[in-house]
Amino acid sequence: MAAGMRRNAALLVALLIVAVALAPAASGFTVCGVDRTAVDACRSYCAKGSKETSPSDACCAKVKPADWECLCSFKNSLPNDVNASRIMDLQYKCKCDNPPATCGAN
Phi and psi dihedrals of 23, rounded to 5?
Answer: -110, 140
Residue 57: pLDDT band with limits 50, 70, 90 = very high
Q: Which residue has the higher pLDDT, 30 or 12?
A: 30
Quote the pTM value: 0.68
Rounded distance between C-alpha atoms, residue 60 and residue 24, angstroms: 24
Q: For residue 61, is it within any domain?
A: yes
Q: For residue 26, is it within any domain?
A: no
Rounded distance between C-alpha atoms, residue 98 and residue 77, angstroms: 23
Asked if residues 41 and 59 have their Cβ atoms less than 8 Å apart, the reply is yes
Question: Where residue 48 sits, what CATH number does that domain have?
Answer: 1.10.110.10
For residue 50, the enclosing domain spans 2-20+31-93
Q: Which residue has the higher pLDDT, 42 or 21?
A: 42
Total count of domains within the chain? 1
pLDDT at position 15, please? 52
pLDDT at position 88, please? 84
What average pLDDT is seen over the chain? Answer: 75
